Amino acid sequence: MRIKDGFVLRSMLGGHVVVGEGLAQVNFNRLLSLNATAAYLWESVQGKDFSTEDLADLIVQKYGVDRELAISDSEKIAKTWIEQGVLLP
């Protein structure tokens, strides 16, 4: 997987949102709100190819949670990003 070019993470009013910038994202007319964990993952993988296992590893390293929970959470995050059109599967 890979985050599509033209999508950037911005801090806004104490939160985190993904916005589309540039002509390629002209039809992306919304903001994607991310919690702190999702924002951490976004920053960690932006510009890189990654898998849900990579996301899970990042969650385990940062938060020390159970790997099974981290895998479940990373799969949900990736699914949401794909559905929102900001991630290449």
* Tens of pLDDT, residues 66-77: 999 999 999 999
Q: 30 versus 81: which is more confidently predicted?
A: 81
C-alpha 12/C-alpha 33 separation (Å) is 10
- In this predicted structure, the answer to whether residue 55 has a pLDDT above a threshold of 70 is yes
CATH number at residue 27: 1.10.10.1150
| Per-residue confidence (pLDDT) for residue 68, from 0 to 100 | 97
C-alpha 82/C-alpha 36 separation (Å) is 19
Count the domains in the chain.
1
| Per-residue confidence (pLDDT) for residue 33, from 0 to 100 | 92
- In this predicted structure, the answer to whether residue 32 has a pLDDT above a threshold of 90 is no
Pairing of strands 7-12, 15-20: antiparallel
pTM recorded for the entire structure: 0.88
Q: Domain residues for 38?
A: 2-88
C-alpha 20/C-alpha 64 separation (Å) is 32
